[in-house]
Amino acid sequence: MITRISPPDKKALAFAKEEIARGGVVAFHTETVYGLGANAFDGGAVAHIFALKGRPADNPLIVHVHRDYDLSALVDDIPPYAKALERAFLPGPLTMVYPSVGKVSPLVSCGLNTLAVRVPSSETAQAFLRTVGLPIAAPSANKSKHVSPVTARHVYDDFQGEIPLILDGGACSGGIESTVLDCTGDVPQILRAGLVTREMIESVAGKCAVYRMRTGEKPKSPGMAHQHYAPKCRTACFSAEEREKARLCYEEELRAGGTPFYVCERALLPFLSGNALDLGGDPAEMAARLYAVLREGEQKATLLIAIEPKERGGVMDGVLNRFCRAFGRDHET
Ligand code: TXA
Ligand code: MG
């Protein structure tokens, strides 16, 4: 199969509609990361997504709809606080988990009685969703465990020859996946941190809980229990205080004949000598650059030496969650 990369022009959108209607899979740009989409009503098409990604069968998918789609066709019992959050943040990088009405294929939610729904703000995603006119189940368009894709090229690198079309909307401005918010309780609860932050949710809903998995417990958001975002090269991770250790690690890799690269926030760059990848200067920039830096790093380096950014709270909850999981480090959120 030839994998085409195309902007969302008329021809590409018509082709995407045909593909989706016949149970195929199409990758598309969103403002967070690229998605790998299929008709959420079609069990065979949804199963194909799991097979393409090599995704564990217990990790549910998010359903994507266009901005005028009536969510009551898919979910019910939307509490007043969630309506207010929808008004404030949708379309945008916020996924809401509601009780499902059971219309989409049971494979989408892996048998859970809830459904995660998202209205992306990307023009490319909106054009795609409006043209196909169906709810689209879509995980991030990377092979399971690999780094999420933030350009069409990243998708191509993982799925070349396996999918017919990538709808190219350029680099993703957000850069980390949407905030996943459980709205089935009295208080909204963050299951996955993202660009819509706890502080932003609190400012609209009054309260916002953050889910923390306890050891031995069945996770509420199964995806969070799986290994994720791993670059294909070897990695090491240090706190900002351990800079000297990071330097020794770099020297050792050089002596062994390897090509080490640091990955760190911009403020640290003047204190390091040698190869380095710039994560960015502020939280939004670090979110936007993280996955591209990890993908660049795995191409160039034999060892990626990460130094944890110092800032906490806001968008950094999401950035550090991905950063620490990419480098196999424990993190609170
Ligand atoms: O920004 C995003 O959300 C991207 C783009 C493509 O929209 N999608 C994405 O999908 O990140 P994925 O499959 O990589 O992550 C979906 C997350 C997983 O952590 C999964 O466990 C959780 O959402 N999830 C999906 N349905 C759920 C449900 N019913 N209850 C709890 N968590 C759910
Ligand atoms: Mg993913």
- Summarize pLDDT for 118-176 with one digit per residue, the tens: 999 999 999 999 999 999 999 999 999 999 999 999 999 999 999 999 999 999 999 99
- Residues 24-37, mean pLDDT to the nearest whole number: 98
Q: Which of 58, 118, 166, 180 to mutate to test the pocket of ligand 1 (most atoms within 8 A of CB)?
A: 180
- Residues 87-100, mean pLDDT to the nearest whole number: 98
User: How far is Cα 121 from Cα 229, in angstroms, rounded to an integer?
Assistant: 23
* 265-303 pLDDT, tens digit each: 999 999 999 999 999 999 999 999 999 999 999 999 999
Q: Is the CB of 49 under 6 A from ligand 1?
A: no
User: How far is Cα 38 from Cα 63, in angstroms, rounded to an integer?
Assistant: 9
Which numbered ligand comes closest to the C-alpha of 143?
A: 2
Q: Is the CB of 62 under 6 A from ligand 1?
A: yes
- Residues 221-250, mean pLDDT to the nearest whole number: 87
Strand order in the sheet with 234-238: 234-238, 303-307, 260-264, 276-278
Q: Is the CB of 129 under 6 A from ligand 1?
A: no
In this predicted structure, what is the pLDDT of residue 219?
74
List the residue whose alpha carbon is closest to atom 33 of ligand 1.
221
When pLDDT is cut at 50, 70 and 90, the band that residue 230 belongs to is confident
From residue 318, alpha-carbon distances to 193, 197, 264, 313 in Å are 5, 8, 16, 9
Q: Is the CB of 221 under 6 A from ligand 1?
A: yes
User: How far is Cα 34 from Cα 298, in angstroms, rounded to an integer?
Assistant: 19
Contact at 8 Å (CB) between 329 and 305? Answer: no
When pLDDT is cut at 50, 70 and 90, the band that residue 331 belongs to is low
In this predicted structure, what is the pLDDT of residue 85?
98
Span from the CA of 157 to the centroid of ligand 2 (angstroms) = 16
Q: Is the CB of 107 under 6 A from ligand 1?
A: no
Query: Treating both helix axes as pointing N-terminal to C-terminal, what angle do 315-326 and 283-300 enclose, rounded to 10 degrees?
Result: 20
Which 3-state string (H, E, C) describes the chain? CCCEEECCCHHHHHHHHHHHHCCCCEEECCCCCCEEEEECCCHHHHHHHHHHHCCCCCCCCEEECCCCCCHHHCECCCCHHHHHHHHHHCCCCEEEEEEECCCCCCCCCCCCCEEEEECCCCHHHHHHHHHHCCCEEECECCCCCECCCCCHHHHHHHHCCCCCEEECCCCCCCCCCCEEEECCCCCCEEEECCCCCHHHHHHHHCCCEECCCCCCCCCCCHHHHCCCCECCCEEEEECHHHHHHHHHHHHHHHHCCCCEEEEECHHHHHHCCCCEEECCCCHHHHHHHHHHHHHHHHHHCCEEEEECCCCCCCHHHHHHHHHHHHCCCCCCC
Contact at 8 Å (CB) between 194 and 181? Answer: no
List the residue whose alpha carbon is closest to atom 21 of ligand 1.
223
Q: Which two tokens stand for residue 265?
A: 């926030």
Calculate the average pLDDT of the chain: 95
Closest-lying ligand 1 atom to the alpha carbon of residue 148: 14
Predicted confidence (pLDDT) at residue 222 exceeds the cutoff of 80: no
Contact at 8 Å (CB) between 303 and 236? Answer: yes
- Residues 7-23, mean pLDDT to the nearest whole number: 98
Phi, psi of 108 (to 5 degrees): -60, -50
Query: Treating both helix axes as pointing N-terminal to C-terminal, what angle do 152-159 and 283-300 enclose, rounded to 10 degrees?
Result: 40
Query: Treating both helix axes as pointing N-terminal to C-terminal, what angle do 198-205 and 80-89 enclose, rounded to 10 degrees?
Result: 120
User: Cβ of 282: how many Cβ atoms within 10 Å?
Assistant: 15
Predicted confidence (pLDDT) at residue 227 exceeds the cutoff of 70: no
User: How far is Cα 178 from Cα 193, in angstroms, rounded to an integer?
Assistant: 8
User: How far is Cα 194 from Cα 93, in angstroms, rounded to an integer?
Assistant: 8
When pLDDT is cut at 50, 70 and 90, the band that residue 333 belongs to is very low
Predicted confidence (pLDDT) at residue 57 exceeds the cutoff of 50: yes
